[in-house]
Amino acid sequence: MAEDQQEQKLSPDEQIIQEARDRFQACEEWESDFWKLFIDDVKFANGDADNGYQWPDSIRKNREIDDRPCLTINKTKQHCLQVINDGRQHAPQIKVHPIDSGATAEAAKLLDGLVRHVEYRSNAQAAYNTAQEFAVFGGIGYWRVVTDYANDDTFDQEIFIQRVKDPKTVRLDPDIKEIDGSDAMFGFVFVDFDKKEFRRKYGKKASEEADFPLGKGDTWLAKNHIRVAEYFRKVPKTEKIAALPDSVMQGLPGLKSNIIKQSDVPDDLWKVLSDHPDVKMRDVEKWNVEWFLIAGNKIKDRRPWPGKYIPIVRCVGEEVIIDGQLERKGHVRSLKDPQRMYNYWSSSATEHVALQTKIPYVAPARAIEGYEGYWKNANNENTSYLPFNDIDEQGRPIERPQREQAPVMAEAYVKGMQITAGEMMMVSGQYQAVMGQPSNETSGVAINARQRQGDNATYHFIDHQALAVRYTGRIIVDLFPKVYDTPRVMRILGEDGVEDFIHLDPNAKQAVEQRKEAMTNEVRQILNPSIGNYDVVVDVGPAYATRRQEAFAAMSQIMAQNQDLMSKAGDLLFKAADFPHAEDIAERLSRAIPPALKGEGPDPQLQQAQQQMQQMQKAMQGMADMIEKLKNERGSNMIKANADVYRAETERAQMIHDASMDQQKLVHDIALAVTQMMQTQQGSALSGAPLANQAAGPPNQPEAPPQAA
């Protein structure tokens, strides 16, 4: 009750700070014992002759006081590096897979290239390697996923993978159940600043504001330091979603999916949809991630994180809960005792051999009488000569001084070191074949089997790193549609490192579209990362360069036995080669190979469609010829008919013309006859000549031309 009243008195910012410190304290209580062992394990793994991390302080000091050797033969680190470097050679590769109807395999392939671009630009392999080193040495390592501006001249943001060089600066929700920490509800990344350094970084005013504790026993503010922490937390949010039938989708052409969120549409449209009887709705509980920058007891900055995951990835070694207590360790913990035994046996054997030169001389007192100064340190110093008395006063010879026989190195020391080395191999599961040392295996099959046995004993480190990389891929794929929310051109990388460019357009209607440029006729691929849902898997195996070398060796052996195969697939052999001009040779061989062998011929379905098109074209050509023939025949008949009509019209015109000519001639003849008759009558009346002779007229007189009627 008192705590509730106290919380009510706090401002919203103070409540957030109090929540952060309570959660941080819970992390400290859960992992406090582990961090002590973590530091000791990391020190032990990196022990050498100078720092002496592999010897207990008390024993080391006593041996140094007694001038006894205190050797460090660090075999532990070699066992650890075997695991670490094996993981580097078999780095997990992120693969994106489509999981619903909106996602496509082609879009997933392009997203693979975007993920590789993010990893390459971030130097992600260094982050992965650092985390795995700490996981093998101490039990856990971390890396982060962050967003930042692509450069100083743009507002476009990019995704980066950031290395965490000190795992002790990270705290994650102790109630997580997943090995990769993907279900964490909160997390911290902090650094402790010296107060002077804090004042230089944030200013004097910020230092004064942060320089008083929120509560008693506050570890965030101490006499000499102020803690600055990035605090991530998940906040629940209930949202409604609706499933639209096709009839409603047809009336809303702007929607990309039939599943919509209430936050994606206007309120008035949502109200109309909620009243529609065919629209299904339900409540969905989601989590929003918030980020705060807390300096001392002040919130210096805050913003929403665009993704749905806490962007802190952990890579764990071995972790188990025993009786409610955390037990977490790496590869070093079980090697400590055998390593200490080996150091002790080596130091004891060395000490035994070193003491052989200090074996004292045995001499009669009379032999060294007068020369005691020479013989006093004879077993410690290298002198050029040692004088002694060879005869006594009576002239009798005196036996010369002699050093006792040096004891042979005890077999127990050698045997002890051999036993200890064997115990280290048994504890680690890494035997001589794994470490590259000669062993009793003689055949290659036996050596590979022993190496696989060692890999099996430490495979959980590789597996846990693969799970962490998979979680990283999920974070990145989840961020793609939220960070790449404006049209832009992005570089993508292939598995072989070949780069290409892709156009991102969040307004595209499909996950992948092909667009043709009007000016250049260039076909561009357009990717919309916001369409469809994708999952991430990892492929653990040899790196691409290793697989390329293995492929070249295998194909070389096969083609050496089958020479004909070289003429059919020689280009593939040289594509896998890794020497200068190999790609040029592959390109020249590729030109000589028939396209059908390379699968570059027409697609069977396309070829069938083309044949059908040709048949249709032939049929259409036949129909066209038939139509043309009919047209020609029809034209010929029309010409004949027109000719007959013309002939009939011509004959009719001729007949009319002839009839007209006959009528004119008749009129002319009548007129001529009448004229002649009149002339005859006049002549007869004047001369009295007979009418018949005058009417006949002269016999050769020409006929007058006809006159028009």
Predicted confidence (pLDDT) per residue in 483-532, tens digit: 998 898 889 988 878 888 899 988 888 888 887 766 766 767 889 998 88
pLDDT by residue (tens digit) across 232-280?
A: 999 998 888 888 887 777 777 666 677 888 877 888 888 888 888 888 8
Residue pair 52/60 in contact (Cβ under 8 Å)? The answer is yes
* H or E stretch at 706: none
SS3 call for 359: coil
Distance CA 206, CA 299 (A): 10
- Judgement on whether residues 613 and 652 belong to the same structural domain of the protein: yes
Read off the pLDDT band of 408 (50, 70, 90).
low
Alpha-carbon gap, residue 462 to 464, rounded angstroms: 6
Mark whether 613 and 583 lie in a shared domain: no
Is the predicted pLDDT of residue 450 greater than 90, yes or no? no
Are 691 and 613 in the same domain? yes
Q: What is the pLDDT at residue 407? A: 60
Residue 440 lies in a domain: no
- Asked, for residue 253, whether it belongs to a domain, the answer is no
- With tokens 């922490």, the residue in question is 229
Is residue 20 within 8 Å of 187, Cβ to Cβ?
A: no
Specify burial of residue 668 (Cβ count, 10 A radius: 0-12, 13-18, 19+).
middle
Rounded Cα distance, 576 and 77, in Å: 35
Residue 694 pLDDT class (50, 70, 90 cuts): very low
The residues near 524 (Cβ < 8 Å, ≥ 6 apart) are: 503, 514, 515, 516, 517
Q: Within this chain, do residues 610 and 675 fall inside the same structural domain, yes or no?
A: yes
CA 166 to chain centroid, in Å, comes to 25
Residue 676 confidence (pLDDT): 65
Collapsing DSSP states into helix, strand and coil, what is residue 2? helix
Of 472, 479, 609, the residue nearest 143 (C-alpha): 472
642 close to 634: Cβ distance less than 8 angstroms: no
Reduced to 3 states, what is the DSSP secondary structure of residue 647?
helix
Q: What is the largest CA-CA distance in the chain?
A: 235
Say how far apart CA 467 and CA 473 lie, in whole Å.
10
Q: Name which of 515, 516, 535 is nearest 527 in CA terms.
A: 515
- Give me the pLDDT at residue 520, please: 67
Same domain, 570 and 614: no
Residue 580, pLDDT score: 79
CA torsion sign for 185, 189, 192, 198 is negative
CA-based nearest residue to 412, from 338, 344, 336, 360: 344
Give 21's contacts (C-beta < 8 A, 6+ positions apart): 214, 215, 218, 220
pLDDT tens-place string over residues 590-618: 777 777 666 665 556 666 767 777 787 88
Q: Residue 433 — very low, low, confident or very high, per pLDDT cuts 50/70/90?
A: low
Residue 406 inside a domain? The answer is no
pLDDT at 605: 62
- Split at pLDDT 50, 70, 90, the class of 310 is very high
Domain shared by 581 and 661, yes or no: no
pLDDT reported for residue 703:
44
- Confidence bin at 663 (pLDDT 50/70/90): low
588 has a pLDDT exceeding 50: yes
pLDDT above 90 (res 327) = yes
Same domain, 575 and 612: no
Q: What is d(CA 173, CA 312) in angstroms, rounded to the nearest whole number? A: 11
Among 592, 624, 650, the domain boundary falls at: 592
Write down the pLDDT at residue 698: 44
- Alpha-carbon span 489 to 117, nearest angstrom: 13
Which DSSP helix (H) or strand (E) runs through 665? helix 604-687
180-188: average pLDDT: 94
Whether 92 maps to a domain, the answer reads no
Query: What average pLDDT score do residues 117-134 get?
Result: 94
How confident is the model over 68-90, as a mean pLDDT?
88
| Mean pLDDT, range 280-307, rounded to an integer | 90
Residue 308 burial (10 A CB sphere; 0-12, 13-18, 19+)? middle
Grade residue 708 by pLDDT with cuts at 50, 70 and 90.
very low
Rounded to 10°, the helix 459-483/124-137 angle is 140
pLDDT tens-digit map of 335-351? 998 899 888 888 888 77
Same domain, 585 and 657: no
Residue 672 CB burial class (10 angstroms; 0-12, 13-18, ≥19): middle
| Three-state DSSP class for residue 81 | helix
Residue 161: predicted pLDDT: 96
The span from the CA of 171 to the CA of 314, in Å, is 10
Region 686-708 average pLDDT: 43
Task: State residue 210's pLDDT score.
Answer: 65
Give CA–CA dist 88/38, Å, rounded.
23
Give the range of the structural domain holding residue 660, as residue numbers without chain letter: 604-696
Residues 361, 450 contacting (CB under 8 angstroms): no
Residue 335 DSSP label: G
Specify the pLDDT at position 420: 75
How buried is 63 (Cβ within 10 angstroms: 0-12 exposed, 13-18 middle, 19+ buried)? middle
User: What are the residue ranges of helices labelled H in 507-603?
Assistant: 544-561, 563-575, 582-592
223 within domain boundaries: no
Please count the other Cβ atoms lying within 10 Å of the Cβ belonging to residue 289. 19
Cβ–Cβ under 8 Å, residues 289 and 304: yes
Range with lowest mean pLDDT among 58-62, 128-132, 569-573? 569-573
Q: Write down the pTM of the prediction.
A: 0.71
**Residue (of 527, 530, 526, 528) closest to 481 by Cα position:** 530
pLDDT tens per residue across span 454-472: 567 788 899 999 999 999 9
684 with 647, same domain? yes
Pairing of strands 225-243, 280-295: antiparallel
- Among 37-46, 156-165, 438-447, 542-551, the range scoring the smallest mean pLDDT is 438-447
- The answer, yes or no, to whether residue 709 has pLDDT greater than 80, is no
Cα three-residue angle 137-140-145, rounded to 5 degrees: 130
DSSP type of residue 189: E
Q: What is the mean pLDDT of residues 277-284?
A: 86
- pLDDT tens profile 205-215: 767 666 655 44
Given a cut of 80, whether residue 577 has pLDDT beyond it is no
Is there a domain that residue 566 lies in?
yes
Give yes or no for residue 202 having a pLDDT over 60: yes
If asked whether residues 611 and 682 sit together in one domain, one would say yes
HSE toward the beta carbon, residue 113, CA cutoff 13 A = 21
Provide the 8-state DSSP code for 188. Answer: E
Helix (H, G, I), strand (E, B) or coil at 397: strand
Per residue in 11-23, pLDDT tens?
A: 888 899 999 999 9
Residue 216 has a pLDDT of 44
User: For residue 328, how many other CB atoms are within 10 A of its CB?
Assistant: 21
Given a cut of 80, is residue 696 above it in pLDDT? no
Where are any strands of DSSP class E within 416-516?
A: 488-493, 499-504, 512-516
Residue 639 lies in a domain: yes
Does residue 643 carry a pLDDT above 80?
A: no
Residue 376 sits at φ, ψ, to 5 deg, of -65, -40
To the nearest whole number, what is the mean pLDDT of the chain?
A: 80
Query: Tell me, what's the pLDDT at 474?
Result: 95
CB 167 within 8 A of CB 134: yes
The tally of domains found in the chain comes to 2
Q: What is the DSSP letter of 509?
A: S
Query: What is residue 506's DSSP assignment?
Result: T
Burial class (CB in 10 A: 0-12, 13-18, 19+), 453: middle
- The percent of residues in the chain predicted with pLDDT above 70, rounded, is 74
Euclidean distance between CA atoms 655 and 658, whole angstroms: 5
172 — pLDDT class (breaks 50, 70, 90): very high
Q: Where are the alpha helices (DSSP H) in 46-149?
A: 57-65, 76-89, 105-122, 124-137
* Residue 2 counted as domain residue: no
Residues 634 and 660 in one domain: yes
Side chain identity, residue 46: N
